Amino acid sequence: MADAQRFDIAIIGAGIAGSALATALGDHGLTIALVEAQSLAPPELPAACDLQHFDPRVSAITPRSKALLEGLGAWPAIEAYRQCAYRHMTVWDAGGTGGIEFDCADVNATSLGHIVENRAIVSALLERVCAAPDITAFGGSRLLACERDDNAARVRVELEGGTALEVDLLVAADGALSRVRDMMGFSTREWDYGHRAIVTTVEVEKSHRDTCWQRFLPSGPLAFLPLPGAGDRHYCSIVWSLQEGLVDNLLQLGDAEFCRELETAFESRLGRVNACARRFAFPLRQRHAIDYVQAGVALVADAAHTIHPLAGQGINLGLADVGVLAEEILAGRAQGTSPGQLQLLRRYQRRRKGENLLMMAAMDGFKALFEQDALPVRWLRNAGMRGVSRMGPLKQQLIRRAMGVG
Ligand SMILES: Cc1cc2nc3c(=O)[nH]c(=O)nc-3n(C[C@H](O)[C@H](O)[C@H](O)COP(=O)(O)OP(=O)(O)OC[C@H]3O[C@@H](n4cnc5c(N)ncnc54)[C@H](O)[C@@H]3O)c2cc1C
């Protein structure tokens, strides 16, 4: 291996989680290497607001995540580009009459969250990364190998092209298929949901009324997420989770036929689905690392946990990981503790694992409950939704939990 460059911390992956962590740590006197297989230039953000120019990947950003992005100085750029504040949520069951409505007024808030295109978040964060004094960017540079050095004090990292790094802390922010997690021998519990999610953008006839819509079908949940409109043109981002066997047929349909299927599945709540952009499909797998840390190594966000997108919580949990890990590293630094110290990293794990597990269990429960077609279960869940709708405090509690402030 070539002579290694020394850093306090190497972060592998500059998606939302990795670029947020780099930004959080980039101005505190720690030397940071940010390694990303793709370019680290902030992605171009198209000005055109039409079907073909929305990022097919969007996230429902909770108020807690928004506060974190504000703290990192990234929110103003996101806001100045485009986002859609959603003030209501409507959830209903295909197999009955039950439904539940959430409104920001129920919890005296001005919105429940914001739908933001992923590339807008990454672009805003990478602008901050570029301005940070302590970050060395290794863009277009894939991690090839990592291992603890001989006396186990540091971690050595090898990048494509022969660059070698030696660091006190290696952070895996390299996503669901994390190489760092595999190479450092972390175990995971995982299972396939048997679902894939079709993701696209559609133009609909009627205004979405700043509402996130979700219909639970026996084949999986279908979400229409509100996007900014242009004049009298109304757009939504679609996440349609479906049993594996149904996906290929829908992907192969022509646009007009796909729009008709979508409109039927959505009970035409927003009138006609007039057009759709290119469709993508993502396999859905639940995955949770048994440990998030070892001495000198930490997993964050999708590298530590992936979750069904039905409640749009994945990156929100990931950003909460980032916030806590940065806090622990900076508190340690104030006391002269190495960022790779196991005790410090265990504090991060203790503070995050419980909440992540709880959310993952809740999502699994929801999914299982809504897949049941037996009449008694359908009756109970519809009665349950109507009941929750009438119970003010329980409903408020649910809303606050979903907003990340409960
Ligand atoms: C259909 C769908 C809808 C979703 N909707 C929502 C939502 O509404 N709200 C929400 O909170 N979450 C949502 N999620 C989850 C969310 O998208 C993920 O949690 C989030 O993108 C994970 O971000 P990350 O930074 O951890 O990983 P990633 O975005 O996967 O980033 C990982 C980065 O690491 C880089 N990388 C990988 N390997 C290497 C390597 N060897 N060397 C160097 N670089 C490497 C990659 O290039 C990439 O840039 C959704 C997920 C899906 C599938």
Q: Is the CB of 366 under 6 A from ligand 1?
A: no
| pLDDT band at residue 368 under the 50/70/90 scheme | low
Q: Is the CB of 340 under 6 A from ligand 1?
A: no
Between CA 71 and CA 93 the distance in angstroms is 38
Output the DSSP codes for 250-263: HHHS-HHHHHHHHH
Q: Is the CB of 344 under 6 A from ligand 1?
A: no
Contacts of residue 119, Cβ cutoff 8 Å, sequence gap at least 6: 43, 45, 55, 57
- Mutation to probe ligand 1, out of 34, 114, 174 (largest number of atoms < 8 A from CB): 174
Between CA 185 and CA 403 the distance in angstroms is 34
Protein residue closest via CA to atom 51 of ligand 1: 309
395 CA → ligand 1 middle, Å: 30
Question: What is the model's pLDDT at position 373?
Answer: 63
User: Per the structure block, which two tokens stand in for 389?
Assistant: 């709708």
Question: What is the model's pLDDT at position 108?
Answer: 87
* Structure confidence by residue, pLDDT tens digits, 110-164: 999 999 999 999 999 999 999 999 999 999 999 999 999 877 789 999 999 999 9
Hey, what amino acid is at 379? W
**Exposed, middle or buried, 143 (CB in 10 Å: 0-12/13-18/19+)?**
buried
Q: Is the CB of 143 under 6 A from ligand 1?
A: yes
For the chain, percent of residues with pLDDT exceeding 70: 88
User: How high is the mean pLDDT of the chain?
Assistant: 91
Order of strands across the sheet that contains 84-86: 58-61, 113-117, 84-86
Question: What is the model's pLDDT at position 129?
Answer: 97
For residue 366, what are the CA distances in angstroms to 17, 384, 392?
26, 12, 21
Lowest average pLDDT, out of 49-53, 216-220, 276-280, 328-332, goes to 216-220
* DSSP assignment letter at 105: G
Between CA 255 and CA 106 the distance in angstroms is 39
Between CA 311 and CA 382 the distance in angstroms is 18
Strands in 173-303 per DSSP E: 188-204, 211-217, 220-226, 234-243, 273-276, 280-289, 293-294, 297-299
Question: What is the model's pLDDT at position 107?
Answer: 86
- Range 59-75 average pLDDT: 97
Closest ligand 1 atom to Cα of 282:
53
- Please state the separation of Cα 109 from the chain's center in Å: 22
User: Is pLDDT above 80 for 363?
Assistant: no
Could you tell me which of 105, 107, 58, 62 has the C-alpha nearest to residue 82?
58
Question: What is the model's pLDDT at position 396?
Answer: 66
* Structure confidence by residue, pLDDT tens digits, 21-34: 999 999 999 999 99
Query: Domains, the chain, ranges and CATH?
Result: 4-43+50-367 (3.50.50.60)
Q: Is the CB of 113 under 6 A from ligand 1?
A: no
User: Per the structure block, which two tokens stand in for 112?
Assistant: 């429940």
User: Is pLDDT above 90 for 392?
Assistant: no
The β-bridge partners of 110 are none
| pLDDT band at residue 177 under the 50/70/90 scheme | very high
Q: Is the CB of 314 under 6 A from ligand 1?
A: yes
Closest ligand 1 atom to Cα of 62:
11
CA angle 217, 222, 223 (to 5 degrees): 145
Q: Which three-class secondary structure state does DSSP give residue 203?
A: strand
Are residues 394 and 402 in contact, defined by beta-carbon separation less than 8 angstroms? no
User: Is pLDDT above 80 for 387?
Assistant: no
Question: What is the model's pLDDT at position 309?
Answer: 86
Q: Is the CB of 15 under 6 A from ligand 1?
A: yes
Strands 273-276 and 297-299: unpaired
| pLDDT band at residue 380 under the 50/70/90 scheme | low
Are residues 297 and 170 in contact, defined by beta-carbon separation less than 8 angstroms? yes
CA atoms within 13 A on the CB side of 327: 14
Q: Is the CB of 339 under 6 A from ligand 1?
A: no
- Mutation to probe ligand 1, out of 34, 39, 114, 302 (largest number of atoms < 8 A from CB): 302
Q: Is the CB of 301 under 6 A from ligand 1?
A: yes
User: Per the structure block, which two tokens stand in for 378?
Assistant: 């359908």
pTM beyond 0.95: the answer is no
- Please state the separation of Cα 34 from the chain's center in Å: 20
The β-bridge partners of 88 are 103, 211
| pLDDT band at residue 385 under the 50/70/90 scheme | low
Q: Is the CB of 60 under 6 A from ligand 1?
A: yes
Question: What is the model's pLDDT at position 54?
Answer: 97
Question: What is the model's pLDDT at position 147?
Answer: 95
Question: What is the model's pLDDT at position 95?
Answer: 65
| pLDDT band at residue 229 under the 50/70/90 scheme | very high
**Based on C-alpha coordinates, what's the Rg of the chain?**
22
125 CA → ligand 1 middle, Å: 14
Question: What is the model's pLDDT at position 13?
Answer: 98
Q: Is the CB of 180 under 6 A from ligand 1?
A: no
Lowest average pLDDT, out of 138-142, 357-361, 402-406, goes to 402-406
Q: Is the CB of 359 under 6 A from ligand 1?
A: no
Are residues 300 and 318 in contact, defined by beta-carbon separation less than 8 angstroms? yes
- Range 313-335 average pLDDT: 97
